[in-house]
Amino acid sequence: MGKIQRIETRLSDINQELDAFKQLNKATAEPTPSVTSTLAPEELLHHDAGRSPYQIAASQKNPVVLPTWLETCRSDPAVKEFIPRLKAHLLARIEGSNYEEEAPRSAEELTKVQFQYDRIYAHQTLIIRYTTYDVRRSEDTVNPATPRCFVLVPSDTPVHPKTGADRFWYARVLGIYHANVSYSGSRPKRMDFLWVRWLARMVDVPGGWDNCCLDRVGYFPDSGLHHAFEFVDPIDVIRAVHLIPRFCGNQTTDYLESLDSLAADSRFVGDWRHYYVGRFVDRDMLMRFVGMAIGHMTHVDVPDQNSGLSAKGYEYTNNREDEEVHLGHEIQDTSEGEEPMRDGDDEDESDEFESDTDQACGTEDDMNEDISEDVSW
């Protein structure tokens, strides 16, 4: 009994110390404004039983204070022009324009985009829902802190004849965020976005079916013409992708000035110079490179010359006369080199068919006699 009483007394003392510590924190902590109290309920994130194209948590437990964070990472080349690029991305989405081809914005235009409390909110995972090649529903989970951090984005550039990788863009997700954004003094609205690092397609290294080689991609330095670090709307992500490091190639530090960068593959040896695109990771991914799958018709996914499928048989037209002419040419091609059929030939063939049938089954009168003998009424 004495031992039990000592344990209970000790637990009571611990609870009292914890309560006193909580009261002290409440008294010394700065007042934190409530975000949920200023937003209408319908403006908060909502998911309807998995029907949304993606899912990001609705919590705001991991706030990132932009001035403090940017000051801490000011030597990191990955955060170069972070706020101007983010505001330009969000402004294009607010206006309904294509943020991928957005022209540079003026400082006056970017000033209209404001972040509530100068904060963005980080998340650990992103769930991407997509339609498979056989019209089923599936999902991928992306986590920037794990190797499962690469995504596939549709490309609007023409398909290159020597590589099957041109129909997609590839990116490594560096962060999953949402922000409460106000435009020109409007009420804050939640907007989700991904901070990504692009991988360029190696056009000089042929890949695809005819070359019996996987497509190859790699990082590139950030510049004014080609931004290596940008932002993507999660709704534009097709699904996660499997990129395999080219282990026979050396790792490099040419793309990033500092190994301590948040975007580096490794803070000790730098980035992998090249990656192979794993098109055989599953059946759905394979069909995305083959093309013409029913479940993939929501974006440009037609086969190229390397897929082994001819597009000639899939050409259609709305002009009825063109179809008849096209059909007439096909019929003439199939009958080329044969003699035209005469009326007598048709009769001879029918007589020959009847004679063969009579020999095998007999005449109609003989069959009726056999039936009448076997059946008694």
Residue 87 in any domain: the answer is: yes
Q: What are phi and psi of 110, to 5 degrees?
A: -70, -25
Task: Tell me what pLDDT residue 90 has.
Answer: 94
Q: Give 280-327 as a DSSP string.
A: TSSHHHHHHHH---GGGTTS-----GGGS--GGGG---S-HHHHHHHH
Q: Provide the domain count of the chain.
A: 1
282, exposed or middle or buried, with CB in 10 Å at 0-12, 13-18, 19+?
middle
The pLDDT value recorded for residue 291 is 78
Would residue 29 count as lying in a domain?
no
Instruction: Check residue 159 and give its pLDDT.
Output: 53
Tell me if 13 is assigned to some domain: no
| Residue 68 included in any domain | yes
Per-residue model confidence (pLDDT) at position 277: 93
49 located within any domain:
yes
- The answer to whether residue 8 is domain-embedded is no
3-state secondary structure of 52: coil
DSSP SS3 for 13: helix
Please work out, in degrees rounded to the nearest 5, the angle formed at the alpha carbon of residue 87 by the alpha carbons of 83 and 92. Answer: 155
Please tell me the distance from the alpha carbon of residue 309 to that of residue 299, in angstroms, as a whole number: 19
Q: Are 178 and 191 in contact (CB under 8 A)?
A: yes
Residue type (1 letter), 264: A
pLDDT of residue 17: 81
- Show pLDDT as tens, one digit a residue, over the chain (377 residues): 788 888 888 888 888 888 887 777 655 544 433 333 333 333 334 445 567 899 999 999 999 999 999 999 988 989 999 999 999 999 999 988 776 666 677 888 899 999 999 999 999 999 999 999 999 999 999 999 999 999 999 886 655 444 444 678 999 999 999 999 999 888 999 999 999 999 988 877 777 777 888 989 999 888 877 889 999 999 999 999 999 999 887 888 888 877 788 998 887 888 999 999 999 999 999 998 887 777 776 544 444 443 333 333 323 333 444 434 443 444 344 444 444 455 555 445 445 444 444 554 555 555 555 545 444 43
Does some domain include residue 320?
Answer: no
Residue 265 belongs to a domain: yes
**Residue 126 main-chain phi, psi, to 5 deg:** -130, 125
Q: Residue 216 sits in which domain range?
A: 41-314
Query: Which residue, among 260, 91, 114, has the nearest Cα to 187 in the 3D structure?
Result: 114
